[in-house]
Amino acid sequence: MIERIIAWSATKAVNQLYGGKIDPSSVVVQKTKPDFEGDFTVIIFSLVRFSKKSPETTGDELGSYLLEDISFISSYNVIKGFLNLTIRNEYWIEFLTDHFCLPDYGFIPVDENQPVVVEYSSPNTNKPLHLGHVRNNLIGWALSEILKANGKRVYRVNLVNDRGIHICKTMLAYKKWHPEEIPSFAGIKGDKFVGQLYVQYEQAAKKEREGLVAAGLTEEEAYRQSPLTREALELLNRWEEGETGVRELWHTMNQWVYEGFDQTYRRLGITFDKIYYESDTYLLGKELVNEGVEKGAFFKKDDGSVWVDLGANNMDEKLLLRSDGTSVYITQDLGTAQLRFDEFNPGQLLYVVGNEQIYHFDVLKVVLKMLGREWADRIVHVSYGMVELPQGKMKSREGTVVDADDLMDEMYQTAKKTTAALGKLDNPDDHEWQELFEMLGMGALKYFILKVDPRKNMLFNPEESIDFNGNTGPFIQYTHARIRSLLRKAAAKGFSGTDLKTDQPVELHPKEKEVLRLLNDFPGIVAEAGKNLSPAIIANYCYELAREYNQFYQEIPVLREKDQNKLVLRLALSSFTGDVLRRAMGLLGISVPEKM
């Protein structure tokens, strides 16, 4: 990368000229601001302590050194403490020629060592997927793609929460109020069907508790004495004992849910290499806890419950096993972490889980460390922010959730309406159009979510439909379609970017140079997104590249250009941009169309 070469040379200069002892990481090289002359800028301020001269003089001395040292620098200027360097056009043209046909430009070949396990999605089987899950899935998917582009072998895994008290509640609701019914009968997706049962249970249970509280009980007493709660708990016991009838119903209802989930996943474009079920893993981790007790890392209370004291890490005591010997949430997470470590020997274990579980993962890592599992350091909690509505957080119980399927349907409709409004829709029933609407709708949705820094909470307003103009998925998809169209026309006229030759001197328009500079950034962007685990970096890069290309497209003729050398160069530039856009959007799980 060009910045690195400059930084390296500047380092040499400081060390040779001034007897400094610095390494390239302490030299800041950035793009020159548009208002100044030059392409790249070296910040001089931090280097004057070695030269013991004014920033201007130092900049001047370094400038002439770099001019001498690096052949692709054509000139420099110094303003205050900024050394601005101008790159020769030949460099850019050579860069274009060398890279525009490379199918893997910016990506690193996959190394099988040190794989990365990425857990994401991890749904409960008592509620349909909503916008929050969508964010989780998209981040998990995109991160996996980005890590692959960074040369990692990636395993995508899902841990489905298919057991527990909440599932028993839906079973109870089914038995009580809807026996014999099946989703296909009711004409709805299986996950929706089961989700409704859960809501029905919660409403009934709430009413029941309110009645008991009105009769003078405290909230907690009311919860414990509620007949529905007792029945649900009883069902849980019978499930754990493996009672056939209970297990059968449980299995049937979960299948309904999976059929529904599969549809949603398919439409989102989400897949997994391995799916774990909590019904298989929930007993894991008990041996680890016992091991900790034996080692004296954990302790048993009189009632038989097992705890760990995290006081040394500035945390509280944490329960690891209940007094009746059953697991809690973290018990099984200890076990599954060990399982995955044994299965994959990963260099990194990523968990894409909401930021409400930060504490949980902090505890998990500390406890594993106390058990002598040094690989606990390889666990990374990719904690993403909540999707909020204008009224605040989404709450399943209050019905203030944005359903994933509904949202995707709306996106499709918006794509259709927008296309029709532009007068492009000649044949609405055509299969190709329908595919395009789906691509655009999903592109708009995915981009909308992924362009935001995953760590931050974000807002979604259902009243305002997701935009198709400006900094959006369809804008980038449009840019790609435009480029493809241009290339088709060029091919029809017998031109191709591959006709490009380096030995012919060609001037570069500032817009061309700007696009090239961005294309030159791509490998660095991929690396940065991998390092920061942030698809948003890719999304924002796509936007910047598309915007810059559109400016170029608007200002400069390509096929109408009379000078063939220029024409071919612009075709290569366009083709390169189209490929990078397609592949960068691919990292986000977004497809781009040939025409739109």
Partner RNA sequence: GGUCUCGUAGCUCAGUUGGAUAGAGCAACAGCCUUCUAAGCUGUGGGUCGCAGGUUCGAGUCCUGCCGGGAUCACCA
CB closer to RNA out of 111 and 317: 317
The yes or no reply on residue 182 touching RNA (CB under 7 A) is no
> Residue 33 gets which letter from DSSP?
P
Distance in Å, CB of 182 to RNA, minimum:
26
Q: Where are the beta strands (DSSP E) in 424-577?
A: 458-459
Among 20, 24, 151, 164, binds RNA (CB under 7 A): 164
Tell me if 319 contacts RNA by CB under 7 A: yes
- Residue 135, classed as helix, strand or coil, is helix
Q: Please list every residue from 229 through 268 that binds RNA, using CB under 7 A.
A: none
Q: Is 112 in the site for RNA (CB under 7 A)?
A: no
Nearest approach in angstroms of CB 1 to RNA is 11
Q: Which span (34-42, 88-96, 267-275, 336-344) binds RNA, by CB under 7 A?
A: 34-42
Residues 6+ apart with CB under 8 A from 147: 116, 118, 154, 530
Q: Compare residues 12 and 455 and give the one whose CB is closer to RNA.
A: 455
C-alpha span between 270 and 589 (Å, rounded): 9
Residues 1-30 that bind RNA (CB under 7 A): 25, 28, 30
Q: Are 585 and 543 in contact (CB under 8 A)?
A: no
Residue where the block lists tokens 């981009």:
447
CB 129 within 8 A of CB 92: no
Q: Using CB under 7 A, pick the residue from 21, 52, 560, 562 that binds RNA.
A: 560
CA neighbor of 529 nearest in space, from 91, 114, 145: 145
Site for RNA in 329-368 (CB under 7 A): 329, 355-360
The residue (of 182 and 559) whose beta carbon lies closer to RNA is: 559
Which of 452, 590 has the CB closer to RNA?
452
The reply to whether 537 sits near RNA by the rule CB under 7 A is yes
Q: Which is nearer to RNA, 99 or 451 (CB)?
A: 451
Instruction: Decide if residue 184 touches RNA (CB under 7 A).
Output: no
513: left (phi over 0), alpha (psi -120 to 50) or beta: alpha
Choosing from 82, 198, 384, 495, the residue that interacts with RNA (CB under 7 A) is 82
Q: Residue with structure tokens 């940065």?
A: 528
Under 8 Å between Cβ of 85 and 79: no
Is-contact 152 111, C-beta < 8 A? yes
* In the complex, minimum distance from the CB of residue 187 to RNA, in angstroms, rounded to a whole number: 30
Q: Which stretch binds RNA (CB under 7 A): 100-108, 209-217, 539-547, 584-592?
A: 539-547
79 binds RNA (CB under 7 A): yes
Work out whether 575 is an interface residue with RNA (CB under 7 A). no
Which part of the chain contacts RNA (CB under 7 A), choosing from 160-168, 249-257, 338-346, 374-382? Answer: 160-168
CA angle in degrees (0–180, nearest 5) for 292-297-298:
75
Site for RNA in 497-536 (CB under 7 A): 528, 536
Asked if 27 and 11 touch (Cβ cutoff 8 Å), the reply is yes
Q: Between 244 and 469, name the residue whose CB sits nearer to RNA.
A: 469
Whose structure tokens read 């030995």? 503
User: Shortest distance, CB of residue 186 to RNA, whole angstroms?
Assistant: 27
Site stretch for RNA (CB under 7 A), options 183-191, 247-255, 320-328, 334-342: 320-328
Q: How far is the CB of 518 from RNA (least distance, A)?
A: 12
Q: Looking at beta carbons only, is 408 or 596 nearer to RNA?
A: 596
| 3-state SS assignment for residue 354 | strand
Part of the chain binding RNA (CB under 7 A), chosen from 94-102, 284-292, 343-351, 542-550: 542-550
- Contact assessment for residue 264 and residue 123, using Cβ atoms and an 8 Å cutoff: no
CB of residue 556 vs RNA: minimum separation in angstroms?
6
DSSP state of 161: B
- Give the number of residues in contact with RNA, rule: CB under 7 A: 93
Residue type, 88: R
Q: Which of 23, 45, 230, 563 binds RNA (CB under 7 A)?
A: 45
Check: CB of residue 570 under 8 Å from CB of residue 558: yes
- Please, which of residues 455-494 interact with RNA by CB under 7 A? 455-459, 461, 467-472, 474-475, 478, 481-482, 484-486, 489
Among 299, 547, 565, 586, the residue binding RNA under the rule CB under 7 A is: 547
540 binds RNA (CB under 7 A): yes
> Residue 36, interface with RNA (CB under 7 A)?
yes
Measured between alpha carbons, how far is 449 from 589 in angstroms, rounded to an integer?
12
Site string for RNA, 266-285 (x = CB under 7 A): ------------x-------
CA–CA distances in Å: residue 130 to residues 190, 349, 391, 402, 430: 15, 25, 16, 5, 30
492, with CB counted inside 10 A (0-12, 13-18, 19+), is exposed
List the one residue out of 398, 402, 430 whose CA is nearest residue 416: 430
CA-wise closest residue to 452 among 434, 465, 464, 466: 466
Which CB sits closer to RNA, 499 or 528? Answer: 528
The answer to whether 588 contacts RNA (rule: CB under 7 A) is: no
Please report how close the Cβ of residue 97 comes to RNA at its closest, in angstroms: 21
Q: Of the listed pieces 113-121, 264-272, 550-558, 576-584, which binds RNA according to CB under 7 A?
A: 550-558
CA distances from 407 to 353, 402, 436 (A): 22, 7, 17
7 vs 154, beta carbon nearer RNA: 7
Window 360 to 419, contacts with RNA (CB under 7 A): 360, 386, 392-393, 415, 418-419
Q: Closest approach of Cβ 179 to RNA, in Å? A: 26
Task: Render 64-128 in DSSP notation, one character per residue.
Answer: HHHHHH-TTEEEEEEETTEEEEEE-HHHHHHHHHHHTT-TTTT-EEEEEEEEEEEE----BTTS-
The CA distance from 148 to 1, in Å, is: 20
CA distances from 574 to 256, 496, 567 (A): 48, 11, 10
> Residues near 133 by Cβ (< 8 Å), separated by ≥ 6?
121, 123, 404
Beta bridge partners of 29: 42
Nearest distance, CB of residue 577 and RNA, angstroms: 13
* Span 421-440, contacts to RNA by CB under 7 A: 422, 424, 436, 440
